[in-house]
Structure 1
Amino acid sequence: MRVAVTSFPKVTAILRGYDLEKTDLLLELLAESSFKSVEIALNTPNAKSILSAIIPKYSEKLAIGAGTVLTLNDLKEVVALGVDFVLSPVMFSKEMCDYCKKNGVISIPGAYSPTEISSCFNLGADIVKVFPAENVGTRYFKNLQSPLGKLPLMAVGGVTPGNANDYLNEGATFLGIGSAMFNKEDVTAGNVTALRQQLAAFAEKIGL
């Protein structure tokens, strides 16, 4: 589901450590919900095989990205698989940002300090992932943008349904939510009813 930065979904569900069966279950639920963006972290076992399986099935319903992209080689491999966006906990090189632009893939490198964040945008990043967000707190986003201007920032790391609105109200444009997105016991048990209720409650909370 190719999307522009201006229409990129507000919340990205980060899936790490789930096998293909569990990933497929969660994508089915996301596809029917108000949440339309999902990241498969590359430090998940068989992550690229999972991406190759889910992209043809869900690409019309969800924006699908690869996370924990650390090298140009990994970037090229996931772009070849057809991802819509790529994320990293660290900065991308200019070559990586340029490769994303050349291939129509949204780049979301990670940064922490004002200098790193500004450098990412200067290198051509579309969105910058502020990570770990819980270490700097919600006010950081407002304080950062007071001198730098409004920036497309994604808060990742410690973001939960309970504090999501705090980040959004303080200036984060996007959120990435990992373990707090789904109750792991419900995922393990395949409790579709409970998982669906969790998504609906979260969507209502943040106005999706």
Structure 2
Amino acid sequence: MTRHDLVHTLGNTGAVAIIRMADAQKLMRVIDAIRAGGIPAIEITMTTPNALRVIEEATSAYAADEDVLIGVGSVLDGPTARRAISAGAQYVVSPVLKAEMIETCHRYDVPAIPGAFTPTEVQRAHELGADVVKVFPASSVGPGFVSALKAPMPHLTLMPTGGVGLTDVDRWLNAGASMVGIGSALLDDDAIAEGDFDQLTENARTLRRTIDEVRG
């Protein structure tokens, strides 16, 4: 898929599941569980031990499943973006705004999703070519901030991340978010530790239902 195709697919999915895990084998089971619940967009953060190797293994494991989209998160610069893309990352997410990260992604026809917080930063990210702008940390401002941004700047494509929960996803989407980034609320650490992957699937189904209901 082209960069624009991937952005469109991510928007249709409505949520990106953010994974930080040390156990690569267990990570694959987490991806399977989330995918079974209807959330196929996965972000493996660079804070994951041996993140590039994990991304390589994940993209190889799901190469035959075009629905699964493996991206990388917590990218802070252009060289890291390049290495992650070489490892197979299909989109790149950052908590900060770095022009070099966006430029690197576009050089390889990969969506760039930088982080921004203020209205000026969000618009600047858009002007630099961000395919989606990650509003981070979203819990510090709430859904009303997204609607306030979209009122004068309806052209923005926003992905609030950081503190988004299963019970308030509808508020973020109704406020004008194109998608959400969701981690701990979806990927229950206790369930993972206990090997209760069915709980993760149920969480993903809850998220999928909410997204579908909001979109009618």
Matched, 1:87 2:87: no
SS at match of 1:148: coil
Which residue of structure 2 lines up, in the alignment, with residue 73 of structure 1?
Answer: 79
Q: How does 1:1-208 map to 2 (within 5 A)?
A: 3-8=5-10, 9-59=13-63, 60=65, 61-93=67-99, 95-207=100-212
TM-score, with structure 1 as normaliser: 0.93
Q: How many residue pairs are counted as aligned between the two chains? A: 207
* Deviation of 1:28 (Å): 1.2
What do you get for the CA RMSD once the two structures are aligned?
1.6
Q: For 2:200 and 2:8, how far apart are their aligned partners in 1? A: 29
Instruction: Tell me, yes or no, if the aligned pair for 2:102 and 2:128 is still in contact at 8 Å.
Output: yes
SS at match of 1:83: coil
Q: Match of 2:25, as an amino acid?
A: E
Q: Match of 1:162, as an amino acid?
A: T
* Deviation of 1:33 (Å): 2.8
Q: Mind listing any 5+ residue stretches in structure 1 that lack a counterpart? A: none
* Deviation of 1:54 (Å): 0.7
Q: Match of 1:24, as an amino acid?
A: M
Q: For 2:115 and 2:171, how far apart are their aligned partners in 1? A: 20
Instruction: Tell me, yes or no, if the aligned pair for 2:17 and 2:183 is still in contact at 8 Å.
Output: yes
Q: Mind listing any 5+ residue stretches in structure 2 that lack a counterpart? A: none
TM-score, with structure 2 as normaliser: 0.90
Q: For 1:102 and 1:45, how far apart are their aligned partners in 2? A: 27
Q: For 1:150 and 1:168, how far apart are their aligned partners in 2? A: 15
